[in-house]
Amino acid sequence: MTTTFLHDLLARRRAGHSLEAPFYRDEAVFQADLAHVFGRHWIFVAVEPQLPQPGDFVTVDIGRSSVLLVRDDDGRVRAFHNVCRHRGTRLCAAQQGALGNIVCPYHQWTYDLGGALIHADHMPAGFDREAHGLRPVHVQLLAGLVFVCLADEPPEDMQRMVSEMTPYLAPHRLAECKVAAQVDIVEQGNWKLTMENNRECYHCVANHPELTVSLYEYGFGYRPGPQNAEGIQRFKDIMAASHARWEGMGLPSREIDVLDERVTGFRTQRLPLDRAGQSQTLDAAVACRKLLGSFTDPALGGLSFWTQPNSWHHFMSDHVVSFAVLPIAPERTLVRTTWCVHRDAIEGVDYDVARLTAVWNATNDQDRRLVEASQAGVADPAYEPGPYSPYTEELVEKFTRWYVQRMRALAA
Amino acid sequence: MTTTFLHDLLARRRAGHSLEAPFYRDEAVFQADLAHVFGRHWIFVAVEPQLPQPGDFVTVDIGRSSVLLVRDDDGRVRAFHNVCRHRGTRLCAAQQGALGNIVCPYHQWTYDLGGALIHADHMPAGFDREAHGLRPVHVQLLAGLVFVCLADEPPEDMQRMVSEMTPYLAPHRLAECKVAAQVDIVEQGNWKLTMENNRECYHCVANHPELTVSLYEYGFGYRPGPQNAEGIQRFKDIMAASHARWEGMGLPSREIDVLDERVTGFRTQRLPLDRAGQSQTLDAAVACRKLLGSFTDPALGGLSFWTQPNSWHHFMSDHVVSFAVLPIAPERTLVRTTWCVHRDAIEGVDYDVARLTAVWNATNDQDRRLVEASQAGVADPAYEPGPYSPYTEELVEKFTRWYVQRMRALAA
Amino acid sequence: MTTTFLHDLLARRRAGHSLEAPFYRDEAVFQADLAHVFGRHWIFVAVEPQLPQPGDFVTVDIGRSSVLLVRDDDGRVRAFHNVCRHRGTRLCAAQQGALGNIVCPYHQWTYDLGGALIHADHMPAGFDREAHGLRPVHVQLLAGLVFVCLADEPPEDMQRMVSEMTPYLAPHRLAECKVAAQVDIVEQGNWKLTMENNRECYHCVANHPELTVSLYEYGFGYRPGPQNAEGIQRFKDIMAASHARWEGMGLPSREIDVLDERVTGFRTQRLPLDRAGQSQTLDAAVACRKLLGSFTDPALGGLSFWTQPNSWHHFMSDHVVSFAVLPIAPERTLVRTTWCVHRDAIEGVDYDVARLTAVWNATNDQDRRLVEASQAGVADPAYEPGPYSPYTEELVEKFTRWYVQRMRALAA
């Protein structure tokens, strides 16, 4: 694929419509996605509770890049390319663990937790150790969420996201949580289809019986009409009352939406939950008796936080659930879901893992099937881009528009 | 691969020889095969008994294209691209089933059996439903066989095949049959090797002990010589007597061969069977006691019907067996075999599935191994095209010549 | 990939450093490796004991090429492309066996053990059988080792290797051995990483507990210093004494190293073994009581023989272990290990297969993991070539230099 081909594809994108097929299938577009979207933006990769102690590490694959996250002896989260500077061996094959130094399994080249090469046998007198330290990766923490940027010069507007989002997220004290469960699933589809699926609930009623226990039907867009005017008004009233109550408790709740206005695009909103109103569970009641931070009221709804290009999160009174979308191949994507509860909550007493994870395990699997049906369809020569609903697929359009804008700026 | 590369490959094809290796392996040649051979000719995909009732559907993959065949409320067989006009989702994932309307699993866009979009939630006022109906695919029925053409303008000479073949096939009343068995196998080889294998019986004696129970040794070509003059003459006599008898019963039997003369190339001939002379079974006797149509005489030989580029069929007094060759990848091909018997035949009483399918299940597996050995060989850098026998591989040459002609006309 | 791309890659190779990533991953580089390295050099493929009798055959895949080795009726080892001259079918699918003539399974074209086409049914009067014999492959035997060259004109310096190596190898009488065990493993890595791994023991101490039972720590390079001066001197003394003893017995032992000086590069050296000093086993004592050839002294150390581009061998008093590296795909490589013992040794009496194969089965699996960790690392966009140790990775550099030289001469 020439740059011209990508340029033309991007140039003829029709607003309000799904993308042309090559965006979902072409190897060269995928490589451009890795280079420009995943290689030059802030990517959500982990939560701090995965790295509670100095020496704890996590490895995350972003395409062919493996990033080694490690908490150093000063308690700081560091990130490095997981590649030995000798002959390129993968340093840590495990997805997580703990280590003192970082020792290459091949010839025992040894790096400290700051990435400095501190030992390399058999190298000659003039060998420059300092020139052979691990290559660092930029890290940014946000209230317990860990983002990395593979580029030398990361987008600067991350700081605005951090300052705007910290008041929303901080009360949930994610960094003081523990991981209760983490599940990886692989979807046989392009990562953008996974993201588009996440950005609308048009498909929820017919596909997600478990999720829609707690979700309000009108929380994610609806074509207004006489038949639903009453329901929409009732939802607006509940929303206004809930926001007033939560803001009074010091919990910012109003929508911020800069999804397609910023390089580091995001959206947040604290949404009331239906029924028990407490948590995304099968009865909408909390899944963990021990509430997060200093919360005492379980009915805090769900604070949702969506980021471009690859994550979403729901912060509730009792747990936080985070989703990272990590592309593997043009038609294969990893979705990693992490559930965190209060560090002092006791499994089997305060919470039950099956109950905690039931809604999203079911929903993820349903979404996987939809993504895979979409992938099969867009791969069909008969596919042509179709129209998004302006009522229910506005955020899909914002994702797609952001993607096209960023690719136009960087890749074409 | 440039068009020049394909053009040169086609230009230097040596008559009477197998094709050069790229025709069997190259991804770009395969894409050209899909676009020009499978995308612009009449492709055999199903038999009518797969769709007995209104609402019955079958999906068939032709390369990346999925075709949805459905019998509409008027009893007519329709075909559509199996792709939602909203965001491209595969509409029907199942290979067969029944439905009232065609409802997309993603956002419930709903089409009637004529392909019209009759329901789409949340779309705005100006949305043009008529512009978003399912994309139709051309269908042609021939005495119970279902052909489709993915092109906007299908080859017109299909009508000649229909008018010439109907008298041969109609007496077997395939459309009034039921499917007794259908078996899919995947061959690790290029679809053209599967077709070449089908178009000769030079390999039969050494490889197909079950099939050669009923096949006459001289029915598919032989180099004449003193040692076989008597056998050949005996076969000619049987053939002449059989044809006279069958034609007298109103069953056209003489050979028609326009395999390499027409765009919609085909060949037919009613051939006597050896031993019991009734059916392709392990004893050459009928596999189903209830004969097809209004037949009373089981000894009708086998009416064979071969079509370019992807099917062959044997119509006997008691059953019809049909083969569809569907390319999956340059080195992977689906062979779908369907056995049909009289609609009123009762399994376990009139026929036994294991007995009905024994010969072709064994033969297909033997052919799969041969195709796979050929694929391994033509992938070897040492491979070079070798000579076809003018006596036993004449129909292979006709297949290859047809392919090269069609590709020269359309692709180069 | 254009030739220019490969030319530039080769031109900018930095001496003393591992190769750039495309050499380990790129499909086009891999094809060039097959064409120029494996297609135009002498490749080790088998040992004579795999073909003890006339009619015995072995098939070996070198990339997409399959070579059929057969011992003919005169006891001579012949090699042919394993491809029928009719329609290209793979002649022998089995990895080994015995045959009278070579009969194609498809249409029974029949070749004698000299490759001549002696039978082909149904071919016309003018058919030229002599023009359709099997395509031969060059074979060279060296004291029981079988090398082939796929090129029409093989490198001529093979004769120098044969004359120089025969005195070293002949006393072990490999051709009179039998195969005690043969194990194939597939490494998920490029063949050059497998070779680089073989050419250094920098990684041995930390990774190969079984192998280092018998290997002397100082036999494969070490950075000299005050802390190891005594150990190195002791090793030198053992080496000198051993060489004197062995040469006195008529066993050439001194190093020859023309790894990067010749087209047919190789290296040899008879090295003392530690502890019992007899064999590469878990206690360094012989694994087979019946010694090779006319040996009576089991303490002959290990005569190692390394060839470019794809083999190494250890000849001991009781057994010979040979390794062939055969590329399958850019990131997939077959390693075939063959253990041979005296033809008259009796399993369960003179030797035990598990004991014979223990060290190298363990070591191969450890090396496989290291190669796979390296493959993962060099595939990471963060990888850049790193420095080889001049003390312990000198032979790695010689392999890499040989490769780059040969590719520059032939491919760029």
pLDDT greater than 90 at residue B164? yes
pLDDT score recorded for residue A10: 97
Cβ of A377 within 8 Å of Cβ of B89? The answer is: yes
State mean pLDDT over B277-285: 97
State mean pLDDT over C188-212: 97
pLDDT digits 0-9 by tens, C16-69: 999 999 999 999 999 999 999 999 999 999 999 999 999 999 999 999 999 999
Cβ of B87 within 8 Å of Cβ of A196? The answer is: yes
Cβ of C370 within 8 Å of Cβ of A84? The answer is: no
pLDDT greater than 80 at residue B3? no
- Residue C301: strand, helix, or coil: coil
Q: How many CA atoms lie within 13 A of B278 on its CB side?
A: 20
Cβ of C88 within 8 Å of Cβ of B386? The answer is: yes
A-C CB pairs within 8 A amount to 89
* Burial class of B224 by CB neighbour count within 10 A (0 to 12, 13 to 18, 19+): exposed
Closest residue, chain B, to C81 (C-alpha): B382
> Chains near B, with 3+ CB pairs < 8 A?
A, C
The answer to whether C364 contacts chain A (CB < 8 Å) is: no
pLDDT digits 0-9 by tens, C70-120: 999 999 999 999 999 999 999 999 999 999 999 999 999 999 999 999 999
Say if strands B56-62 and B65-71 run parallel, antiparallel, or are unpaired.
antiparallel
Cβ of B122 within 8 Å of Cβ of A221? The answer is: yes
Residue count of chain C, please give it.
412
How near does any CA of chain A get to the CA of C90, in Å?
A: 33
pLDDT greater than 80 at residue B412? no
Domains and CATH numbers, chain C: 43-154 (2.102.10.10), 162-410 (3.90.380.10)
pLDDT greater than 60 at residue A246? yes
**Residue A172 near residue A164, CB atoms below 8 Å:** no
pLDDT score recorded for residue B2: 60
DSSP for B282-327, written as a single string? SSSS-SBSS-STT---S---EEEEEETTTEEEEE-SS-EEEEEEEE
pLDDT score recorded for residue A2: 60
pLDDT score recorded for residue A220: 87
pLDDT greater than 70 at residue A151? yes
pLDDT greater than 90 at residue B110? yes
The answer to whether C354 contacts chain A (CB < 8 Å) is: no
Q: How far apart are CA C302 and CA B4, in angstroms?
A: 57
Give the DSSP H or E segment for B43.
strand B43-47
Beta-carbon neighbour count of residue C129 at 10 Å? Answer: 14
Q: How far apart are CA A254 and CA A270, in angstroms?
A: 7
3-state SS track over C26-50: CHHHHHHHHHHHHCCCCEEEEEHHH
Q: How far apart are the first and last CA of chain B?
A: 12
pLDDT greater than 80 at residue B138? yes
At residue C216, what is the residue type?
Answer: Y
Q: How far apart are CA B33 and CA B42, in angstroms?
A: 13
The answer to whether C18 contacts chain A (CB < 8 Å) is: yes
The answer to whether C378 contacts chain A (CB < 8 Å) is: yes
pLDDT tier, C2 (very low <50, low <70, confident <90, very high otherwise):
low
pLDDT score recorded for residue C144: 98
pLDDT greater than 60 at residue B139? yes
pLDDT digits 0-9 by tens, A252-296: 999 999 999 999 999 999 999 999 999 999 999 999 999 999 999
pLDDT score recorded for residue A323: 98
Give the DSSP H or E segment for B337.
strand B332-342
Cis peptide, bond prior to residue A327, ω within 30 of zero: no
Closest residue, chain B, to C62 (C-alpha): B380
Residues of A in contact with B123 (CB under 8 A): 223, 387, 389
pLDDT tier, A3 (very low <50, low <70, confident <90, very high otherwise):
confident
Residue count of chain A, please give it.
412
Nearest to C214 by CA among C297, C147, C300: C300
The owner of tokens 């070449």 is B196
DSSP for A348-403, written as a single string? TTTB-HHHHHHHHHHHHHHHHHHHHHHHHHHTSTT----BPPTTT-HHHHHHHHHH
pLDDT digits 0-9 by tens, A156-178: 999 999 999 999 999 999 999 99
Q: How far apart are CA C92 and CA B373, in angstroms?
A: 9
**Residue C270 near residue C211, CB atoms below 8 Å:** no
C contact residues 56-95, partner B, Cβ 8 Å cutoff = 63-66, 81-91, 93
Structure tokens at A318: 């009792």
Largest CA distance in chain B: 83
Cβ of A88 within 8 Å of Cβ of C381? The answer is: no
pTM summary value: 0.96
Cis peptide, bond prior to residue A155, ω within 30 of zero: no
Residues of B in contact with C123 (CB under 8 A): 223, 387, 389
Nearest to A317 by CA among A132, A171, A145: A171
Cis peptide, bond prior to residue B309, ω within 30 of zero: yes
Q: What are phi and psi of B162, to 5 degrees?
A: -60, -45
The answer to whether B101 contacts chain A (CB < 8 Å) is: no
> Chains near A, with 3+ CB pairs < 8 A?
B, C
Q: What are phi and psi of A405, to 5 degrees?
A: -60, -45
> Chains near C, with 3+ CB pairs < 8 A?
A, B
pLDDT digits 0-9 by tens, C110-152: 999 999 999 999 999 999 999 999 999 999 999 999 999 999 9
The 8 Å CB, 24+ separation contacts for A217-226 are A219/A271, A219/A272, A220/A392, A221/A389, A221/A391, A221/A392, A221/A393, A221/A394, A221/A395, A221/B122, A222/A391, A222/A392, A222/B122, A223/A389, A223/A391, A223/A392, A223/B121, A223/B122, A223/B123, A223/B124, A224/A391
Q: What are phi and psi of A149, to 5 degrees?
A: -135, 125
